[in-house]
Structure 1
Amino acid sequence: MQPRAEMYSPMHPHAFRVLEIAEEIPGCMTLRVEPDGDGSGAAFAPGQFFMIYVFGHGEVPISVSGDPAKSGELTFTVMAVGSVTKALCAVKPGGVIGLRGPFGSAWPVGDIKGRDVIVMAGGLGLAPLRPSIYRMLYDRGDYGDVALLYGGRQPQSIVFPQELADWREEALIDVDVTVDTAGREWPGKVGVVTELLKGRNIDPARTSALICGPEIMMRFSAYALLDLGVAAENIHVSMERNMKCAVRMCGRCQYGPFFICADGPVFSFDRVERLFKIREV
C-alpha cells in the first residue's frame, strides 16, 4: 500500500477511466472520466485545471469544462494540436489516463453574487467558462442579469451549439453569438465578439465580467468593458501558458511576477493589465 503522503502528493497522478468521448468540432473532443478505483476524488472549482497524463506521451494542462455539481466525474474539452493532445483525443472509452489536480485559481462565482455578469468567450475559451455558467444557472436567483457573449471564427467552429440553443430557449441567461466570417446560410451575426457589447444596457457599477479566449480577444474585450466604465478589478480573465509542473517549481509558466499554474489561471484584470501591454511576455 502506498504511503499516505505519496497518494495525496500533487505530483502523483491518479488513474481515471474514460467513460465517453465525443467530437465537438473537427479535431476537438470532449472526454468524460471517472476515478478508476484509487480513492481519488473529482471535485473542482469552476476555472481550475488538471494535468492530464497520457501513458507513453506525456502531460498536458486542461481546464475542466463540465458541471461542478456532477460529483464523481470530470469533463474535459480538448483540441488536438500537439502530440499529447492528439494522443488524448485518440483514447477510447474504457481507456485509462492519469490526472493530477485540481490546480490554480477559480472564477469568482461566489464573490459576484448579487451582480450583473457578462461572460465573454472566444472559440474554445467557452470550455473553461462552462462550469461557471452551470453554477450561475443553478443559483440563478443569486445573480442579476447574466449574458453570454460568444464569438467564433466561423459557424463550424462553434462548440456546444446545442447547449447554446438550450440556454437561449430557457431564457435564464442572455445568449448572443457572432462569428468572424460566414456564408449566406448563416442566420446569425457576423463580427468580433466586442461588437456584442454595443447597445447593451450595462450598469458598470454592478457589473462583473468573466473572459476566456485567445489573448488578443481577451485584451480587446477587457478594454471595451473598461471603456464602458466597468472597473478593472471586476473584470476576470483566464490566462494560458505552457505549464509543466503545476506547482510553481519549473518556472515554465511565469508571466511577469506571476506563475500561471498557481497564481492563475484566473486573474482580475487590474493584476495583469500592465502585462497585457508588453509584447511576448
Structure 2
Amino acid sequence: MNVYRPHLAIIEKIKQENDDTRTFSLRFIRKKIRDEFRFKPGQFNMISVFGFGEAPFSISSDPEIKGRFEHTIRRVGTLTNALFGFDEGHVVGVRGPFGNGWPLDKAKGKNLLLIAGGTGLISLRPAIYHIMRNRSEFGDVELLYGARSPSNLLFIDEHNLWARSKNFRMFLTVEKVSNGLKWDYEMGVITEHLDKIKTDNNPIVFLCGPEIMMKYTLKELMRLGFKKHQIYLSMERRMRCGIGKCGHCQIGPKYVCRDGPVFVYDDVENLPDKLL
C-alpha cells in the first residue's frame, strides 16, 4: 500500500459505545487493498475526513478478522465532530497500518498484566482478542481497567466474555458513581488497586491511557518491584504523518509514529519533552 495516499473505505456499521465514543466498522472499497490489509494489535491508521483533515486512531478490532476493521473513536474536536456526523455508507480515507504494536511474541509463555485507563482500552482490545484466540501461548492474564464513571466504560458487552476465559482476571474501577446507580466493582483510580494484582513470575506489562495516568501508574509499578524492561506503554500523542517524516511526534531521537507507539519503559524514561 502507498503510505502517502489514503485509500477509500466505506463505513459499514456504527456502534455507540457510550455518550461520546463510537466504534466505526470500515471496509476498503478496492478489493485488492481489502485483501492485502493486515495489522498487528497496537498499530494505528491515519483516518481522513475529507474537508476536515486527517488524524491517527488505534485499530480496535480482532486482527484475525479479514475484510473489515474497526476504529473506536471519542468525539473531541473538529475532525471527530465531522466524523460523528457521518452515517453508515459514508466514505473516509485510510492510510496504514503504522507503528510497531504490542510485543505479543515476547509475552509468549509469560504472565501478562494489562492496564488501561479510559480510551486506553481501545489499543489493548486487539491484543486481548489475540490472547483469547491463542490462550495456550500465554500464562495468567490480569486486566485492570479504569474510567471516570460507569458511563465512560468501553466494550461493556465483552467484559464478561473476557472474564470467563481461563486464567483471566479482570478488575474494573471508576472514580465516581452517580447517586442511585448500582455498581458492584471497585472505586478509585487505577493506582489504588495495583496492589490487588496476583500475577507473579515477572509478568510482562502492557500499559495504555492518558499520560498523567501512565506517569503515576509507572511510579506505583516501580514501588511494587516491577522492572523497567518488563513494562511496555503506548504513547499515542501528537502524531501527524504516521511515517516519521514531519517530526511532529519526535521526542529526542524517537519518533512516536515510527519507533512506537509502543515503547519499553527502559527506552523512554529519560527522553526529553515528555510527561512520564
Query: Taking structure 1 as the reference length, what is the TM-score of the superposition?
Result: 0.92
Q: Residues 41 and 126 of structure 2 are in contact (CA less than 8 Å); yes or no, is this contact kept in structure 1?
A: yes
The AA in structure 2 aligned to 1:136 is: I
CA RMSD of aligned residues (A): 1.7
Q: Residues 140 and 199 of structure 2 are in contact (CA less than 8 Å); yes or no, is this contact kept in structure 1?
A: no
Q: How many residues align?
A: 272
Aligned partner of 2:56 in structure 1 is: 61
CA distance in 1: counterparts of 2:247 and 2:105, whole angstroms: 30
1:38-187 correspondence runs (5 A) = 39-40=32-33, 41-183=36-178, 185-187=182-184
Per-residue Cα deviation, 1:216-260 (whole angstroms, up to 9, x for no partner): 111222222222222211100000222221111111111222111
CA distance in 2: counterparts of 1:199 and 1:233, whole angstroms: 22
Aligned partner of 1:255 in structure 2 is: 251
Q: Residues 253 and 261 of structure 1 are in contact (CA less than 8 Å); yes or no, is this contact kept in structure 2?
A: yes
Ranges of 4+ aligned residues in structure 1 off by more than 6 Å? none
Task: Give 3-state SS (helix, strand or coil) of 1:39's partner.
Answer: helix
Aligned partner of 1:231 in structure 2 is: 227
Q: Residues 171 and 185 of structure 2 are in contact (CA less than 8 Å); yes or no, is this contact kept in structure 1?
A: no
Cα distance change, pair 74–100 in 1 and its aligned pair in 2 (3 A): same
Cα distance change, pair 280–273 in 1 and its aligned pair in 2 (3 A): closer
1:3-22 correspondence runs (5 A) = 8-22=1-15
CA distance in 2: counterparts of 1:202 and 1:27, whole angstroms: 33
Per-residue Cα deviation, 1:55-100 (whole angstroms, up to 9, x for no partner): 1111010010010010111100001111111112222111111100
The AA in structure 1 aligned to 2:189 is: V
Aligned partner of 1:198 in structure 2 is: 195
CA distance in 1: counterparts of 2:167 and 2:19, whole angstroms: 30
Query: Taking structure 2 as the reference length, what is the TM-score of the superposition?
Result: 0.93
Q: Residues 49 and 64 of structure 1 are in contact (CA less than 8 Å); yes or no, is this contact kept in structure 2?
A: yes
Q: Which runs of 5+ in 2 are unaligned?
A: none
1:280 shift after superposition: 6.1
CA distance in 2: counterparts of 1:262 and 1:168, whole angstroms: 34
Identity fraction in percent: 39
CA distance in 1: counterparts of 2:192 and 2:47, whole angstroms: 36
